[in-house]
Amino acid sequence: MERLPQEIVVDILSRLPIPSLVQSKSVCRAWRGLIRDRVLVNKHFWRMIQNDPSFILQSYNPMQNQLYFGDFSSQNDGNVIMKKLAIPPLPKFHVVGSCNGLLCLHTSHQSFEICIYNPFTRDYTELPKLTKHPSYNVGVQGFGFDLTTKEYKVVEISYQIRTCGGSFPRFPRSTNYIVRAPISASASIEAAVHILTLGSPTWRNLGTVPFQLMMSQQSQVLINGKLHWVAYPNRNETKNPIISFDLATEQFQEVPRPDCISLANRRFEQIVALRGCLSSASYQDDYEQLEIWVMKEYNVKESWSKEFSIGAYVPPILQQDESFNNSRFYMNKKCMRVLCLLRSGEILLECRNRALVLYDPHCRTFKDLHLTFEGISNYFKVVVHVASLNWINTFINT
């Protein structure tokens, strides 16, 4: 290795799986420095994103606080081997989002609430705790990378809802597909926005915004250095706006929606990133058809195009579950969440936090994925994740 030019060494190492690279840093001091080299980190990252998307699965039941990693290189006839990942010493946590191989975790620790963690390098840092008024409830959090300053930022939007009597009702907590918090016409919403740049000792207050973002299983969508969420309609509107937050300018903006969202028989359920484009998925009222629209040119309304139309499907694991056979849940059990698009053209779907399914839009067929765990999970959350060598004190050249 010492006789090879540095660029050849980096090129060879960039083709190796991350577990092997992480282990090699224990060989000697020179290798340890090389594994943390920014050129290798970036080269390896770009090789990873050219492959099919991988994902992080957080187990909720029966085992909590456990992370697993799955990728389609291990898929064999619908079987995906899930690799158990090391986790930081946290009492309880949930994954807020993923960016450049780093996970943002929200926890119930006494001294801090948010930490950033790379589950492969085990690089881990605790962020300063945000002190806010007790009448504010945590609403939505976001994590992303500022392309201009090359800094990671965490955003937290907290809500205070005041009724006509002056009281502050708390938000309902739910594990449903989307947390719905209906607000009466007599209530007013105040959303306080705070932001923290990794490496900074304090949060900055960006003021308030006059909208309420939905809290869902896949809350944030990061595209073009901007975080995106779906918001509840304002009092005089019936449409759900898409709200973006520019991590560089630290400004909010409404993004134009596809025309289909304005139709009365549509339910606007989610937004997702598909091959780097902002996309939306909406159901008809009967949940028999899921349409996916893609914004091919960012922030241009006319560039929205309907790319996929997916029929209803209920995985066997839900068909066998008596609680989902109850008529009260019949429509909801058809509801699927779009995760990502594979190079084969197949779409990865998550069904009610219980199953993963591949949909082939050419053959219009579904294939259930059988997840092999080092432990059995009956209920989970899935986040699309690009595994990387990224260390928190370095940056990916995106």
4 plus 100 within the same structural domain: no
Task: Give 245-294 pLDDT, tens digit per residue.
Answer: 999 999 999 999 887 654 545 565 689 999 899 999 988 767 788 999 99
Instruction: At 324, give phi and psi (nearest 5°).
Output: -85, -15
What is the structure's pLDDT at 267? 60
Q: Is pLDDT above 50 for 174?
A: no
Question: Kind and range of the H or E element at 230?
Answer: strand 226-230
26 plus 99 within the same structural domain: no
Amino acid identity at 46: W
| Closest alpha carbon to 56 in 263, 356, 367 | 356
16 plus 91 within the same structural domain: no
Amino acid identity at 197: T
Q: CA of 160: how far to CAs of 66, 169, 228, 361, in Å?
A: 32, 8, 21, 43
Residue 85 domain-assigned?
yes
**Which range has the worst mean pLDDT, 59-68, 69-78, 170-179?**
170-179
Residue 109 domain-assigned?
yes
What is the structure's pLDDT at 185? 44
Domain boundaries, position 42: 1-50
pLDDT band at 182 (very low <50, low <70, confident <90, very high): very low
Q: What percent of the chain has pLDDT over 90?
A: 34
115 plus 166 within the same structural domain: yes
Residue 336 domain-assigned?
yes
Mean pLDDT of 87-100: 88
Indicate which CATH number applies to the domain containing 45. Answer: 1.20.1280
What is the structure's pLDDT at 212? 84
pLDDT band at 395 (very low <50, low <70, confident <90, very high): low
63 plus 43 within the same structural domain: no
Query: What gap in Å lies between CA 390 and CA 380, rounded to an integer?
Result: 25
Q: Is pLDDT above 80 for 31?
A: no
208 plus 74 within the same structural domain: yes
Indicate which CATH number applies to the domain containing 226. Answer: 2.120.10.80
Residue 82 domain-assigned?
yes
Q: Give the DSSP letter string of 316-347.
A: HHHHT-HHHHSGGGTTGGG-EEEEEE-TTS-E
What is the structure's pLDDT at 350? 92
Instruction: At 386, give phi and psi (nearest 5°).
Output: -100, 110
pLDDT band at 326 (very low <50, low <70, confident <90, very high): low
Of 50, 69, 86, the position where a domain reaches its end is 50
pLDDT band at 325 (very low <50, low <70, confident <90, very high): low
Residue 121 domain-assigned?
yes
The percent of the chain in helix, strand and coil, each rounded to the nearest 5, is 15, 40, 45
Global pTM reads: 0.85
Q: 248 in helix, strand or coil? A: coil
The sign of the CA dihedral 200, 205, 209, 212 is positive
Mean pLDDT of 345-367: 93
What is the structure's pLDDT at 128? 92
Residue 214 domain-assigned?
yes
What is the structure's pLDDT at 265? 52
228 plus 357 within the same structural domain: yes
Q: CA of 240: how far to CAs of 36, 62, 155, 243, 262, in Å?
A: 44, 35, 21, 9, 9
| Number of structural domains the chain divides into | 2
Count Cβ atoms below 10 Å from residue 351 Cβ, excluding itself.
20
| Closest alpha carbon to 229 in 266, 280, 277 | 280
Give the neighbor-by-neighbor strand order of the sheet with 336-341.
336-341, 347-351, 355-360, 365-368
Report the mean per-residue pLDDT for the chain: 81
99 plus 144 within the same structural domain: yes
242 plus 162 within the same structural domain: yes
Query: What gap in Å lies between CA 63 and CA 58, rounded to an integer?
Result: 10
Q: Is pLDDT above 50 for 173?
A: no
Task: Give 184-232 pLDDT, tens digit per residue.
Answer: 444 567 789 999 999 899 999 999 888 888 876 566 899 999 999 988 8
333 plus 350 within the same structural domain: yes
284 plus 153 within the same structural domain: yes
Query: What gap in Å lies between CA 149 and CA 195, rounded to an integer?
Result: 15
Q: Is pLDDT above 70 for 71?
A: yes
Residue 266 domain-assigned?
yes
Question: Kind and range of the H or E element at 33?
Answer: helix 29-35
Residue 393 domain-assigned?
no
Query: What gap in Å lies between CA 135 and CA 210, rounded to an integer?
Result: 17
Task: Give me the residues paired with residue 382 across strands.
Answer: 57
Query: What gap in Å lies between CA 82 and CA 372, rounded to an integer?
Result: 6
273 plus 129 within the same structural domain: yes
Question: Any idea which residue has 């990378």 for tokens?
Answer: 145
Q: What percent of the chain has pLDDT over 70?
A: 79
What is the structure's pLDDT at 368? 92
Query: What gap in Å lies between CA 112 and CA 19, rounded to an integer?
Result: 29
Q: Give the DSSP letter string of 79-131.
A: EEEPEEE---S-SSEEEEEEETTEEEEEE--SS-SEEEE-TTT--EEEPPPPP
Count Cβ atoms below 10 Å from residue 277 Cβ, excluding itself.
18
Give the neighbor-by-neighbor strand order of the sheet with 289-295.
266-274, 277-284, 289-295, 304-311
Of 12, 28, 50, the position where a domain reaches its end is 50
